[in-house]
């Protein structure tokens, strides 16, 4: 435990220093409008690959991504990682498990489709549940200057015990169900099924609060399956709202928070890089509403407003990307609580010493195809896309979620 604390402090200092001294990342460019009608996807063949000399590798579990494997020589395995369909954001998710009949050390070569590259630093686990970063001495990703690495290499020690390798912690649909079940034990939390995914999974909304729906909040997460760090920040945010404290109890008497923690359960279950089972990035479907997930949530929100006569005043969509960043609405525009989002980000960020928040408001005054834009332009909810870096230290992720919730409760007191 002492070593873990030292490592946390070490990496936190490095992360905070990079936030303060480096030029802030400019984030993604303008959102491209794309067709959102369903398209075919490439399903993996779930199997355990029996390679030479008693080495095995498998993708036969929920959330796995492995499209092929071969033993190149006595010390090298090659794994092929392909997307569910294309075109797609080139951020390859991978997850597989390995074992061997006898103890041996081997290198794994990660090989990707054309125009893709290695994004995620590998994590390893002995049980498929608790993951940690691979040792830096056992990993390298060669790349030409100014380019992303097209391949990467990881050294692993194999034995009869299973070793799990993944791009991030495995947070499957079962994990989300277990977490929701814990929340539902609270007497102020209830759930409602608002639709079905393409593969028939329930699309569930949790209601957190005991208010009259005159002023409501919406929180969603995991539109993109690999974006685990955003999911973790969302959990911390929600758990803070659910605390048994005077501040949280008073907040829940005044506001109801509606929560959809896994917006893309099919993509999570199938180990997709980005899309749902319809082969579509759901965060580009908030105008057309062709896909069942955004369509169901939009219908729920619009019906809730009509039935209650109330309004949504706040919305947050939690994501992951290269570095921490907040995408917000043009600050010249006013919704149901003008100025709420800039104040919230700045006040919560001040609670982290040395942290300078990277805030990127949209430059246009027009509605876009993302959830953030839908929440604001259709409902007037002050909204943001809360992006967490792939490698942001986990304790800092927890703090960001917690501090955002605490400052929100104070601003809306």
Based on the fold, state whether residues 136 and 200 are members of the same structural domain.
no
Based on the fold, state whether residues 279 and 402 are members of the same structural domain.
yes
Q: Does the residue 84 lie in any domain?
A: yes
Spell out a b/e string for 164-174, using b for 16 or more CB atoms within 10 Å of the CB, else e.
Answer: bbbbbbbbbbe
Structural domain ending residue among the three candidates 139, 166, 193: 166
Q: Does the residue 20 lie in any domain?
A: no
CB 336 within 8 A of CB 382: yes
Residue 74 binned pLDDT confidence (cut-offs 50, 70, 90):
very high
Residue 146, pLDDT score: 86
Q: What is the pTM of this model?
A: 0.94
Q: Does the residue 197 lie in any domain?
A: yes
Based on the fold, state whether residues 47 and 128 are members of the same structural domain.
yes
- Cis peptide upstream of residue 87 (ω within 30 degrees of 0): yes
Based on the fold, state whether residues 186 and 307 are members of the same structural domain.
yes
Residue 388 binned pLDDT confidence (cut-offs 50, 70, 90):
very high
How, if at all, do strands 139-140 and 95-100 pair?
unpaired
CATH number of domain containing 274: 3.40.630.10
Based on the fold, state whether residues 210 and 162 are members of the same structural domain.
no
Q: Does the residue 16 lie in any domain?
A: no
Instruction: Identify the residue with better confidence: 206 or 146.
Output: 206
328: phi then psi, degrees, rounded to nearest 5: -125, 170
CATH number of domain containing 72: 2.60.40.3120
Once rounded to an integer, what is the mean pLDDT over residues 382-403? 97
Once rounded to an integer, what is the mean pLDDT over residues 86-94? 93
Of the chain, the percentage scoring pLDDT greater than 90 comes to 89
Structural domain ending residue among the three candidates 145, 166, 187: 166
Q: Does the residue 29 lie in any domain?
A: no
Q: Which tens digit of pLDDT belongs to each residue from 285-330?
A: 999 999 999 999 999 999 999 999 999 999 999 999 999 999 999 9
Once rounded to an integer, what is the mean pLDDT over residues 190-195? 98
Q: List CB contacts of 403: < 8 A, sequence separation 6 or more.
A: 348, 349, 351, 352
What whole-number distance in Å separates Cα of residue 406 and Cα of residue 186? 19
Q: Does the residue 195 lie in any domain?
A: yes
Based on the fold, state whether residues 137 and 211 are members of the same structural domain.
no
Based on the fold, state whether residues 268 and 390 are members of the same structural domain.
yes
Q: Is the pLDDT of residue 4 over 70?
A: no
Based on the fold, state whether residues 210 and 77 are members of the same structural domain.
no
Residue 83, pLDDT score: 97
Structural domain ending residue among the three candidates 166, 185, 219: 166
CB 187 within 8 A of CB 124: no
Q: What's the domain range around 259?
A: 173-411
Based on the fold, state whether residues 117 and 184 are members of the same structural domain.
no
Based on the fold, state whether residues 268 and 348 are members of the same structural domain.
yes
Quote the number of domains for the chain: 2
Q: Is the pLDDT of residue 106 over 50?
A: yes
Q: Does the residue 182 lie in any domain?
A: yes
Based on the fold, state whether residues 347 and 228 are members of the same structural domain.
yes
Residue 7 binned pLDDT confidence (cut-offs 50, 70, 90):
very low
């Amino acid at each position: 435990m002492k070593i873990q604390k030292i490592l946390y402090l070490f990496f936190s200092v490095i992360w905070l220093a990079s936030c303060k001294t480096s030029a802030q990342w400019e984030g993604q460019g303008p959102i491209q409008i794309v067709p959102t009608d369903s398209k075919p996807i490439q399903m993996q063949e779930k199997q355990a690959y029996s390679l030479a000399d008693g080495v095995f590798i498998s993708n036969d579990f929920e959330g796995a991504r492995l499209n092929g494997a071969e033993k190149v020589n006595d010390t090298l395995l090659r794994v092929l990682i392909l997307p569910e369909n294309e075109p797609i954001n080139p951020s390859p998710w991978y997850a597989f498990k390995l074992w061997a009949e006898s103890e041996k050390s081997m290198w794994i070569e990660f090989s990707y489709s054309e125009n893709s590259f290695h994004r995620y630093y590998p994590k390893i686990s002995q049980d498929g549940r608790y993951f940690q970063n691979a040792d830096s001495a056992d990993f390298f990703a060669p790349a030409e200057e100014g380019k992303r690495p097209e391949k990467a290499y990881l050294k692993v020690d194999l034995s009869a015990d299973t070793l799990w390798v993944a791009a991030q912690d495995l947070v499957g649909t079962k994990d989300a169900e277990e977490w929701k079940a814990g929340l539902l034990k609270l007497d102020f939390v209830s759930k409602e099924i608002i639709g079905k995914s393409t593969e028939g999974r329930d699309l569930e909304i949790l209601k957190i609060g005991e208010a009259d729906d005159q002023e409501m909040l919406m929180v969603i997460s995991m539109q993109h399956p690999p974006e685990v760090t955003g999911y973790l920040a969302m959990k911390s945010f929600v758990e803070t709202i659910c605390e048994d404290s005077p501040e949280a109890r008073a907040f829940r008497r005044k506001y109801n928070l509606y929560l959809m923690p896994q917006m893309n359960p099919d993509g999570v279950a199938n180990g997709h890089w980005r899309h749902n089972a319809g082969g579509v990035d759901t965060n580009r479907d908030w105008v057309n509403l062709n896909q069942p997930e955004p369509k169901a949530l939009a219908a729920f929100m619009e019906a809730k407003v009509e039935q209650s006569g109330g309004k949504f005043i706040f919305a947050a969509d939690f994501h992951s990307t290269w570095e921490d960043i907040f995408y917000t609405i043009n600050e010249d525009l006013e919704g149901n609580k003008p100025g709420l989002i800039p104040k919230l980000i700045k006040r919560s960020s001040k609670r982290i010493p040395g942290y300078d928040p990277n805030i990127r408001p949209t430059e246009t005054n027009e509605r876009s195809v993302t959830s953030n834009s839908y929440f604001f332009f259709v409902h007037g909810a002050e909204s943001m896309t809360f992006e967490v870096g792939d490698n942001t230290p986990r304790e800092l992720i927890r703090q960001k979620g917690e501090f955002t919730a605490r400052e929100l409760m104070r601003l809306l007191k």
